[in-house]
Copies of this chain bind each other. A is one copy, B any other.
Amino acid sequence: MIVVMKLNATEEEILAVEKRLKDGGLSGHLIRGVNRIVIGAVGDERQVIASLGLEALSAVEKVVPIMKPFKLVSREAKEMPTIIEVKDAKFGGEHLAIIAGPCAVESINQVMTAAEKIKAAGGQVLRGGAYKPRTSPYAFQGMEEKGLEILQQAGHEYGLATVTEVIDQPSLDLACRYVDMVQIGTRNMQNFRLLQAVGKVRKPVILKRGLSATIEEWLMAAEYIMSEGNEQVILCERGIRTFETYTRNTLDLSAIPLIKDLSHLPIIVDPSHATGSAKLVSSMAKAAVAAGVDGLLIEVHPEPCKALCDGPQSLDPEQFATLTTDLRRLAQAVDRKIS
Protein backbone atom coordinates (compact mmCIF):
# COMPACT_ATOMS: atom_id res chain seq x y z
CA MET A 1 0.00 0.00 0.00
CA ILE A 2 0.97 3.63 -0.40
CA VAL A 3 0.64 5.98 2.57
CA VAL A 4 0.32 9.64 1.60
CA MET A 5 1.31 11.95 4.46
CA LYS A 6 -0.19 15.39 5.03
CA LEU A 7 1.76 18.46 3.95
CA ASN A 8 2.92 19.30 7.45
CA ALA A 9 3.76 15.81 8.74
CA THR A 10 6.64 15.79 11.21
CA GLU A 11 9.56 13.35 11.30
CA GLU A 12 8.05 11.83 14.41
CA GLU A 13 4.75 11.20 12.67
CA ILE A 14 6.56 9.59 9.77
CA LEU A 15 8.41 7.31 12.16
CA ALA A 16 5.10 6.35 13.76
CA VAL A 17 3.75 5.21 10.42
CA GLU A 18 6.90 3.25 9.66
CA LYS A 19 6.68 1.55 13.04
CA ARG A 20 3.10 0.47 12.41
CA LEU A 21 3.97 -0.89 9.00
CA LYS A 22 6.80 -2.88 10.57
CA ASP A 23 4.46 -4.20 13.27
CA GLY A 24 2.18 -5.36 10.47
CA GLY A 25 5.03 -7.24 8.81
CA LEU A 26 5.55 -4.69 6.04
CA SER A 27 8.59 -2.58 5.25
CA GLY A 28 8.24 1.11 4.49
CA HIS A 29 10.06 2.97 1.72
CA LEU A 30 10.12 6.74 2.01
CA ILE A 31 9.75 8.99 -1.03
CA ARG A 32 10.28 12.68 -0.32
CA GLY A 33 8.43 14.69 -2.96
CA VAL A 34 8.43 18.42 -3.49
CA ASN A 35 5.28 18.95 -1.49
CA ARG A 36 4.59 15.71 0.20
CA ILE A 37 6.06 12.59 1.70
CA VAL A 38 4.81 9.27 0.49
CA ILE A 39 5.59 5.92 2.09
CA GLY A 40 5.45 2.76 0.02
CA ALA A 41 4.81 -0.40 2.05
CA VAL A 42 6.22 -3.68 0.81
CA GLY A 43 4.74 -7.05 1.82
CA ASP A 44 1.37 -8.82 1.77
CA GLU A 45 -0.91 -5.99 2.80
CA ARG A 46 -4.20 -7.84 2.39
CA GLN A 47 -4.30 -9.39 5.86
CA VAL A 48 -3.28 -6.26 7.72
CA ILE A 49 -4.49 -3.21 5.82
CA ALA A 50 -7.78 -2.94 7.73
CA SER A 51 -6.25 -3.28 11.18
CA LEU A 52 -3.20 -1.01 10.92
CA GLY A 53 -5.37 2.03 11.64
CA LEU A 54 -3.19 4.30 9.51
CA GLU A 55 -6.03 6.41 8.19
CA ALA A 56 -7.01 7.35 11.72
CA LEU A 57 -3.62 9.01 12.27
CA SER A 58 -3.97 12.75 11.94
CA ALA A 59 -0.78 13.10 9.86
CA VAL A 60 -1.95 10.61 7.21
CA GLU A 61 -3.85 12.06 4.27
CA LYS A 62 -4.81 8.80 2.61
CA VAL A 63 -3.89 5.15 2.22
CA VAL A 64 -3.96 3.67 -1.27
CA PRO A 65 -4.08 -0.14 -1.45
CA ILE A 66 -1.98 -1.62 -4.23
CA MET A 67 -2.92 -5.28 -4.05
CA LYS A 68 -6.41 -6.45 -4.81
CA PRO A 69 -8.08 -7.73 -1.64
CA PHE A 70 -9.23 -11.07 -3.08
CA LYS A 71 -7.00 -14.13 -3.37
CA LEU A 72 -8.67 -17.48 -4.06
CA VAL A 73 -11.03 -16.09 -6.70
CA SER A 74 -8.30 -14.17 -8.50
CA ARG A 75 -6.84 -14.92 -11.90
CA GLU A 76 -3.42 -14.62 -10.30
CA ALA A 77 -4.23 -17.56 -8.03
CA LYS A 78 -5.44 -19.76 -10.91
CA GLU A 79 -4.52 -19.02 -14.51
CA MET A 80 -6.99 -21.35 -16.26
CA PRO A 81 -10.72 -20.65 -16.23
CA THR A 82 -12.77 -22.79 -13.86
CA ILE A 83 -15.34 -24.90 -15.68
CA ILE A 84 -18.33 -25.99 -13.63
CA GLU A 85 -20.35 -28.98 -14.79
CA VAL A 86 -23.81 -29.92 -13.58
CA LYS A 87 -25.38 -32.81 -15.50
CA ASP A 88 -25.49 -31.65 -19.14
CA ALA A 89 -24.64 -28.05 -18.31
CA LYS A 90 -21.10 -26.69 -18.62
CA PHE A 91 -20.28 -23.17 -17.48
CA GLY A 92 -16.89 -21.81 -18.55
CA GLY A 93 -14.13 -22.35 -21.07
CA GLU A 94 -15.66 -22.71 -24.52
CA HIS A 95 -19.03 -23.75 -23.06
CA LEU A 96 -22.04 -21.82 -21.97
CA ALA A 97 -25.26 -23.14 -20.49
CA ILE A 98 -28.84 -21.94 -20.37
CA ILE A 99 -30.81 -21.91 -17.13
CA ALA A 100 -34.51 -21.18 -17.51
CA GLY A 101 -37.78 -21.44 -15.67
CA PRO A 102 -40.38 -19.49 -13.74
CA CYS A 103 -39.51 -16.94 -11.06
CA ALA A 104 -41.56 -18.87 -8.50
CA VAL A 105 -42.72 -22.48 -8.33
CA GLU A 106 -46.50 -22.15 -8.30
CA SER A 107 -47.84 -25.62 -9.11
CA ILE A 108 -46.79 -28.98 -10.49
CA ASN A 109 -48.54 -28.23 -13.78
CA GLN A 110 -46.81 -24.91 -14.23
CA VAL A 111 -43.33 -26.33 -13.61
CA MET A 112 -43.87 -29.48 -15.70
CA THR A 113 -45.04 -27.43 -18.66
CA ALA A 114 -42.15 -25.02 -18.28
CA ALA A 115 -39.64 -27.87 -18.01
CA GLU A 116 -40.96 -29.59 -21.11
CA LYS A 117 -40.69 -26.44 -23.19
CA ILE A 118 -37.26 -25.54 -21.82
CA LYS A 119 -35.89 -28.99 -22.61
CA ALA A 120 -37.38 -28.86 -26.09
CA ALA A 121 -35.83 -25.46 -26.77
CA GLY A 122 -32.40 -26.66 -25.70
CA GLY A 123 -32.05 -25.41 -22.11
CA GLN A 124 -29.88 -27.39 -19.65
CA VAL A 125 -30.98 -26.22 -16.21
CA LEU A 126 -34.43 -25.67 -14.70
CA ARG A 127 -34.85 -22.85 -12.20
CA GLY A 128 -37.75 -22.05 -9.89
CA GLY A 129 -38.05 -20.22 -6.59
CA ALA A 130 -39.43 -22.05 -3.55
CA TYR A 131 -38.33 -19.36 -1.08
CA LYS A 132 -39.01 -15.88 -2.43
CA PRO A 133 -37.46 -12.83 -0.77
CA ARG A 134 -40.19 -10.25 -1.46
CA THR A 135 -40.10 -6.53 -0.80
CA SER A 136 -43.55 -6.70 0.79
CA PRO A 137 -44.44 -8.96 3.72
CA TYR A 138 -47.89 -9.26 2.14
CA ALA A 139 -46.66 -10.78 -1.17
CA PHE A 140 -46.47 -14.49 -2.05
CA GLN A 141 -43.44 -15.94 -0.23
CA GLY A 142 -43.02 -19.25 -2.03
CA MET A 143 -44.15 -22.90 -1.68
CA GLU A 144 -41.05 -23.89 0.35
CA GLU A 145 -40.38 -27.64 0.60
CA LYS A 146 -43.36 -28.54 -1.57
CA GLY A 147 -41.85 -26.31 -4.26
CA LEU A 148 -38.49 -28.08 -4.00
CA GLU A 149 -40.19 -31.45 -4.52
CA ILE A 150 -41.91 -30.19 -7.64
CA LEU A 151 -38.65 -28.85 -8.99
CA GLN A 152 -36.87 -32.13 -8.37
CA GLN A 153 -39.66 -34.09 -10.02
CA ALA A 154 -39.70 -31.90 -13.12
CA GLY A 155 -35.90 -31.99 -13.42
CA HIS A 156 -36.00 -35.76 -13.21
CA GLU A 157 -38.82 -36.11 -15.70
CA TYR A 158 -37.19 -33.96 -18.38
CA GLY A 159 -33.51 -34.63 -17.76
CA LEU A 160 -32.70 -31.12 -16.58
CA ALA A 161 -30.40 -30.06 -13.76
CA THR A 162 -32.14 -27.88 -11.16
CA VAL A 163 -31.33 -24.74 -9.20
CA THR A 164 -33.18 -22.77 -6.53
CA GLU A 165 -32.56 -19.81 -4.24
CA VAL A 166 -31.72 -20.33 -0.58
CA ILE A 167 -32.25 -17.69 2.09
CA ASP A 168 -31.04 -19.20 5.36
CA GLN A 169 -29.56 -22.37 6.87
CA PRO A 170 -32.85 -24.34 6.99
CA SER A 171 -33.72 -23.58 3.35
CA LEU A 172 -30.16 -24.47 2.34
CA ASP A 173 -30.34 -27.81 4.16
CA LEU A 174 -33.58 -28.67 2.39
CA ALA A 175 -32.45 -27.41 -1.01
CA CYS A 176 -29.36 -29.61 -0.85
CA ARG A 177 -31.63 -32.67 -0.64
CA TYR A 178 -33.70 -31.76 -3.69
CA VAL A 179 -31.71 -29.72 -6.23
CA ASP A 180 -28.38 -29.74 -8.05
CA MET A 181 -27.28 -26.15 -7.55
CA VAL A 182 -28.15 -23.39 -5.09
CA GLN A 183 -28.42 -19.68 -5.62
CA ILE A 184 -27.68 -16.67 -3.38
CA GLY A 185 -29.98 -13.80 -4.31
CA THR A 186 -28.99 -10.20 -4.83
CA ARG A 187 -30.32 -9.05 -1.42
CA ASN A 188 -28.22 -11.67 0.36
CA MET A 189 -24.93 -11.09 -1.43
CA GLN A 190 -23.44 -9.71 1.77
CA ASN A 191 -25.32 -11.98 4.17
CA PHE A 192 -21.98 -13.34 5.30
CA ARG A 193 -23.46 -16.10 7.47
CA LEU A 194 -25.27 -17.47 4.44
CA LEU A 195 -22.11 -17.21 2.32
CA GLN A 196 -20.22 -19.20 4.92
CA ALA A 197 -23.02 -21.79 4.99
CA VAL A 198 -23.01 -22.37 1.22
CA GLY A 199 -19.22 -22.46 1.41
CA LYS A 200 -19.56 -25.65 3.43
CA VAL A 201 -21.80 -27.59 1.04
CA ARG A 202 -20.67 -29.48 -2.04
CA LYS A 203 -23.07 -28.06 -4.60
CA PRO A 204 -22.29 -25.37 -7.18
CA VAL A 205 -23.43 -21.93 -6.02
CA ILE A 206 -24.74 -19.13 -8.22
CA LEU A 207 -23.83 -15.87 -6.51
CA LYS A 208 -25.88 -12.94 -7.74
CA ARG A 209 -24.32 -9.51 -7.66
CA GLY A 210 -25.83 -7.19 -5.05
CA LEU A 211 -27.98 -4.33 -6.29
CA SER A 212 -25.29 -1.81 -5.49
CA ALA A 213 -22.27 -4.08 -5.08
CA THR A 214 -19.00 -3.07 -6.66
CA ILE A 215 -17.09 -5.66 -8.68
CA GLU A 216 -14.67 -5.88 -5.77
CA GLU A 217 -17.33 -6.49 -3.11
CA TRP A 218 -18.88 -9.14 -5.34
CA LEU A 219 -15.57 -10.97 -5.71
CA MET A 220 -15.02 -10.68 -1.94
CA ALA A 221 -18.40 -12.36 -1.40
CA ALA A 222 -17.21 -15.18 -3.68
CA GLU A 223 -14.01 -15.24 -1.65
CA TYR A 224 -16.11 -15.89 1.49
CA ILE A 225 -17.59 -18.98 -0.17
CA MET A 226 -14.27 -20.27 -1.51
CA SER A 227 -12.49 -19.64 1.78
CA GLU A 228 -14.89 -22.14 3.38
CA GLY A 229 -13.90 -24.80 0.85
CA ASN A 230 -16.51 -24.64 -1.91
CA GLU A 231 -14.74 -23.92 -5.19
CA GLN A 232 -17.79 -24.15 -7.43
CA VAL A 233 -18.91 -20.55 -7.56
CA ILE A 234 -20.68 -19.05 -10.58
CA LEU A 235 -21.00 -15.27 -10.56
CA CYS A 236 -24.26 -13.85 -11.90
CA GLU A 237 -24.60 -10.24 -13.11
CA ARG A 238 -28.26 -9.16 -12.79
CA GLY A 239 -28.27 -5.40 -13.10
CA ILE A 240 -27.20 -2.69 -10.71
CA ARG A 241 -29.21 0.14 -9.24
CA THR A 242 -28.81 3.46 -11.03
CA PHE A 243 -30.85 6.64 -11.53
CA GLU A 244 -32.51 5.28 -14.72
CA THR A 245 -36.16 4.33 -14.21
CA TYR A 246 -37.16 3.06 -17.67
CA THR A 247 -35.50 -0.25 -16.83
CA ARG A 248 -35.77 -1.91 -13.42
CA ASN A 249 -31.98 -2.01 -13.09
CA THR A 250 -29.06 -1.28 -15.38
CA LEU A 251 -27.44 -4.44 -16.74
CA ASP A 252 -23.67 -4.00 -16.48
CA LEU A 253 -22.37 -6.19 -19.30
CA SER A 254 -18.86 -4.78 -18.99
CA ALA A 255 -18.71 -6.98 -15.90
CA ILE A 256 -18.25 -9.96 -18.23
CA PRO A 257 -14.81 -9.10 -19.67
CA LEU A 258 -13.83 -7.45 -16.39
CA ILE A 259 -14.56 -10.52 -14.26
CA LYS A 260 -12.76 -12.71 -16.78
CA ASP A 261 -9.74 -10.46 -16.45
CA LEU A 262 -9.77 -10.48 -12.64
CA SER A 263 -11.00 -14.00 -11.85
CA HIS A 264 -11.00 -17.59 -13.05
CA LEU A 265 -14.64 -18.10 -12.05
CA PRO A 266 -17.40 -18.38 -14.67
CA ILE A 267 -19.87 -15.52 -15.03
CA ILE A 268 -23.48 -15.73 -16.18
CA VAL A 269 -26.09 -13.04 -16.82
CA ASP A 270 -29.75 -12.72 -15.79
CA PRO A 271 -31.32 -10.32 -18.31
CA SER A 272 -34.84 -10.90 -16.94
CA HIS A 273 -34.38 -9.38 -13.49
CA ALA A 274 -31.97 -6.77 -14.83
CA THR A 275 -34.38 -5.22 -17.28
CA GLY A 276 -37.72 -6.18 -15.73
CA SER A 277 -39.24 -6.23 -19.19
CA ALA A 278 -39.73 -9.21 -21.51
CA LYS A 279 -39.24 -7.07 -24.61
CA LEU A 280 -35.65 -6.26 -23.62
CA VAL A 281 -34.62 -9.75 -22.49
CA SER A 282 -33.72 -11.26 -25.87
CA SER A 283 -31.50 -8.35 -26.95
CA MET A 284 -29.63 -8.42 -23.67
CA ALA A 285 -29.23 -12.23 -23.74
CA LYS A 286 -27.67 -11.95 -27.20
CA ALA A 287 -25.43 -9.10 -26.12
CA ALA A 288 -24.20 -11.17 -23.18
CA VAL A 289 -23.27 -14.09 -25.44
CA ALA A 290 -21.39 -11.77 -27.80
CA ALA A 291 -19.54 -10.33 -24.80
CA GLY A 292 -18.35 -13.79 -23.79
CA VAL A 293 -20.72 -14.87 -21.05
CA ASP A 294 -20.57 -18.43 -19.64
CA GLY A 295 -24.29 -18.87 -19.16
CA LEU A 296 -27.69 -17.24 -19.04
CA LEU A 297 -30.49 -17.29 -16.52
CA ILE A 298 -33.79 -16.54 -18.21
CA GLU A 299 -37.27 -16.40 -16.80
CA VAL A 300 -39.73 -18.53 -18.75
CA HIS A 301 -43.31 -18.99 -17.67
CA PRO A 302 -45.96 -21.03 -19.50
CA GLU A 303 -48.36 -18.09 -19.14
CA PRO A 304 -46.48 -14.95 -18.07
CA CYS A 305 -49.66 -12.98 -17.43
CA LYS A 306 -50.76 -15.50 -14.81
CA ALA A 307 -47.42 -15.52 -12.97
CA LEU A 308 -47.57 -14.88 -9.22
CA CYS A 309 -44.23 -13.10 -9.43
CA ASP A 310 -42.38 -11.11 -12.07
CA GLY A 311 -44.68 -11.93 -14.97
CA PRO A 312 -43.79 -8.78 -16.96
CA GLN A 313 -40.23 -9.94 -17.42
CA SER A 314 -40.93 -13.60 -18.28
CA LEU A 315 -40.71 -14.97 -21.80
CA ASP A 316 -43.39 -17.37 -22.95
CA PRO A 317 -42.19 -20.76 -24.28
CA GLU A 318 -42.41 -19.64 -27.90
CA GLN A 319 -40.33 -16.51 -27.35
CA PHE A 320 -37.82 -18.63 -25.47
CA ALA A 321 -37.54 -21.15 -28.33
CA THR A 322 -36.91 -18.34 -30.82
CA LEU A 323 -34.27 -16.90 -28.52
CA THR A 324 -32.35 -20.15 -28.09
CA THR A 325 -32.23 -20.58 -31.86
CA ASP A 326 -30.79 -17.09 -32.20
CA LEU A 327 -28.32 -17.71 -29.38
CA ARG A 328 -26.96 -20.87 -30.98
CA ARG A 329 -26.24 -18.97 -34.18
CA LEU A 330 -24.60 -16.19 -32.23
CA ALA A 331 -22.54 -18.54 -30.03
CA GLN A 332 -21.08 -20.05 -33.16
CA ALA A 333 -20.10 -16.60 -34.44
CA VAL A 334 -18.01 -16.07 -31.30
CA ASP A 335 -16.63 -19.64 -31.21
CA ARG A 336 -18.61 -20.79 -28.21
CA LYS A 337 -20.82 -23.85 -27.66
CA ILE A 338 -24.11 -23.98 -25.82
CA SER A 339 -23.13 -26.89 -23.53
Contacts and interface: CB of A to CB of B under 8 A. Distances in A.
Contacts of A286: 290-291, 334
A318 interface: no
A339 interface: no
A264 to B, nearest CB: 15
A242 B250 contact: yes
A190 to B, nearest CB: 4
A67 B35 contact: yes
A334 to B, nearest CB: 7
Given A243-B241, A256-B283, A46 B76 contact: no
B257 A137 contact: no
A32 B38 contact: no
Interface residues of A, number: 102
Copies in the complex: 4
A312 B66 CA distance: 19
Interface of A: 2, 4, 7, 29, 31-36, 38, 40, 42-44, 46-47, 50-51, 53-57, 64, 66-67, 69, 76, 133-140, 167-169, 187-188, 190-193, 211-212, 214-217, 220, 223-224, 227, 240-247, 250-254, 256-258, 261, 274-275, 278-280, 283-284, 286-292, 304-309, 311-312, 314, 326, 329-330, 332-334
